[in-house]
Amino acid sequence: MKAYRLSPKCSQVIFLIGLSSALVACVNLKTVSDFSATSLKGIQNFEQLDYTFQDHCVDRCEHEAVQRFEFSRSLDCDCGLYLKADSVMLAMYQTIGGYFEALGKLSQNELTEYSTDAMVTSLTAEQLGPLTIDSNLATAYSTISNLMLRATTDFYRRRKIAAYIEEANEPIQVLLDAFQKTTRTNLKGELRFKKERLYAYYMDMKMNNTLQSDYEKGKAATDYYQAMEEIQKKELRMDLFADALLEIAEGHQELYDRRDKLVAKDLALAMLGYSGQVKILVSEFNKLNQ
């Protein structure tokens, strides 16, 4: 059988086509990497929310002590369930953040080094004070945790990154949805109680003529509005954080929907849109901390 040899010119053309395809793939995987990095920054704003379920419990406990004119060396506040609720929030934060950190590394063909220490906490369906953990959330947490632990080997590096995105999408959507709703509804809801307590406290002083001089009245009004402004800042932080989680969820869904076409140019443009929106929300969030 006669063997055919390509001409040097044909070989060069084939080489350039292959190089071009490789560059397109790298550009789009860089898009996945950039989206993962931006998502991680948005998720890390959790650490700057400046309010926890335990904070709410202690605030309420202190308020009740003040109303009773009670003085003690240390308050005995029953905040066990609220501490557990905070541990659930922390577990969701670590798991979601760990997932996007791993996604970024895998998109750069790097082996992940996710610490198993973050996987110590397990979630079970139960009621924890202001939080309800259902079986769907517990399963999603377990699935992502196991996926990340498996990704610490070279298993996923040898496969298309689409496999990682495909397996993770459903549970990560559940976690992101639960995380944003818990922040916007449950945690922010505790701040509404705090606002009502403050209003009732200062109105009680006014109605009972506790404030005698104009100076006392003016000082009380100033204190009230300063406290309300700080609460409103916390509320806005929570809304911006939750909005970023929604954008991240939509961006990941886009990756999942096009997982078999990660080298498509229009995907790169779409992901830039999601990344850009997350960056805007992160910027607005950070301005509140200045």
- The pLDDT, as a whole number, for residue 3 is 47
C-alpha gyration radius of the chain: 26
Tokens 């080094």 sit on residue? 113
Structure tokens at 257: 């929907």
- The pLDDT, as a whole number, for residue 27 is 38
**pLDDT single digits (tens) 243-259:** 999 999 999 999 999 88
Tokens 């139960």 sit on residue? 126
178, amino acid identity:
A
pTM: 0.81
- The pLDDT, as a whole number, for residue 138 is 87
CB 154 within 8 A of CB 210: no
CB 144 within 8 A of CB 165: no
Between CA 274 and CA 263 the distance in angstroms is 17
104, amino acid identity:
G
- The pLDDT, as a whole number, for residue 154 is 58
Q: What stretches in the chain show pLDDT beneath 70?
A: 1-28, 67-74, 110-129, 152-159, 263
Cα separation of the two ends of the chain? 76
Strand partners, 128: 131
- The pLDDT, as a whole number, for residue 20 is 36
CB 162 within 8 A of CB 255: no
- The pLDDT, as a whole number, for residue 18 is 39
